[in-house]
Copies of this chain bind each other. A is one copy, B any other.
Amino acid sequence: MTKFADRIVPIPEGGVMSKIFAAFDYPDALSLGDGVPDASTFPVQELKAMTIEAFDEADDPVINNVLFSYLDGGYPKLKEFIFDRCMNKYNTGNPEMDSIQLFGGAQQLIDLVAKIYCNPGDTIIVEDSSYGGAIFSFEEYQANVVGVPIDEHGIIPEALEETLKREKNVKFIYVIPTFSNPTGIEMSLERRKAVYDLAVKYDVMIFEDSPYFELRYSGDYIPTIKSMDTTGHVIFAGSLSKIICPGIRIGYAIGPKPVMDAILNGKINNDISGPGIIQVAVAKYLEKYDLDAHIAECCDLYRTKRDAMLAALEREMGDIATWTHPEGGFFLWLTIPEGLSGKDFAVYVAEKKHVVLYPGANYHPKGEDVNAVRLNFSVPTEDQIDDCIKKVGDALKEFIELNK
């Protein structure tokens, strides 16, 4: 068989994840795994109405072209709406310096940013822990992905500077400052400023990935790193996946114009354009409906679920584990006693309790094992959360015994 490129690393059969997913074979399986929104939040009827309106504009040849042909660079009205919202509501983006582009979800942007910046061996700095889908994508470009320690306030600036000094050809710092996937941690304002200052000092980009930043359930808003950017060192990535639905596949990026031009060129070589009918329907949705009111409803739902999970954790594992207390987003991070394997624990929970959760290793460069697992609270109902956390707590007691 013709040899694949060196970037292709075979996925081992019978690995940890296949053992975990085997739990789904049981009728009583429950999941705290995937990081998707609660399907009840999807504005199905509104999107349907707007899609019909979009189809009804097909007689206009200009709109017809947008709807049904290639759409290099995305639907201008949708781009304008999102850019204006980011600028006016969040001071994120500066029309003098920045432009916006749309992508097939923020994942496509993650791929393209690595593609335009990284030769094999170039360094990308990530928070330790960080989004697995980004780490995999970066590693596919054979980047040297280096984790920097975090605490409850986000990435530690001293450790970041040490890494910037030590590593060669650092291209960008990838951070999820607001309600991180996987930890739920929010980077403090002071840390954001420190990260920006270091990026300028060492002249590397910051890739601020923020798909959850509008899903806040408590605490005060903290400005984006992009809002501090006067030097063109920040690419801000947002997404409609979590606040409307993933199926529309719309992510966006705001960044310095020359960088966005290179990324757009990469996107054209990658898939020419996204589907116009959806972009027009979503633009109509954003024009006609109150997105902030919709987000507020989502937050009410997720706040209840988060609180249910925090209460259940306190009840079931108060004396044997620690966890983060996220003010938003979809996840919290459960740390089990030191010396225990997060991978082995996730497999144990799947096999013995039929609860799916993902090991912390999935969120580390090269899949390094840690004594932690990620818990999702956006999908399960409150009852399921109670049930799951009880089972996870029982499993942890057993697992600690077994590993004594």
A residues whose Cβ falls under 8 Å from a Cβ of B = 1-8, 11, 36-37, 39, 42, 44, 47-48, 51-52, 55-56, 58, 61, 64-65, 67-71, 103-105, 107-108, 111, 115-120, 122, 133, 136-137, 140, 171-172, 203-205, 232-233, 245-249, 256, 258-259, 262, 265-266, 268-278
A247 in contact with B68 (CB, 8 Å): yes
Interface core residue of A7, A68, A259, A268 (most chain B CB under 10 Å):
A68
CB distance from A188 to the nearest CB of B (A): 25
Distance of A5 Cα from B172 Cα, bound (Å): 12
Chain B contacts of A44 at CB under 8 A?
Answer: 55, 58, 64, 68
B246 in contact with A8 (CB, 8 Å): no
Q: Of B70, B107, B120, B259, which one neighbours A272 at CB under 8 angstroms?
A: B107
CB distance from A49 to the nearest CB of B (A): 9
CB distance from A350 to the nearest CB of B (A): 19
Nearest B-chain residue to A280, judged by Cβ? B247
Q: Of B118, B204, B270, which one neighbours A107 at CB under 8 angstroms?
A: B270
A48 in contact with B52 (CB, 8 Å): yes
A-B contact pairs, 10 of them (CB 8 A): A2-B117, A44-B55, A48-B52, A51-B52, A70-B246, A107-B271, A108-B270, A111-B271, A270-B270, A277-B278
A249 in contact with B265 (CB, 8 Å): no
Chain B contacts of A120 at CB under 8 A?
Answer: 120
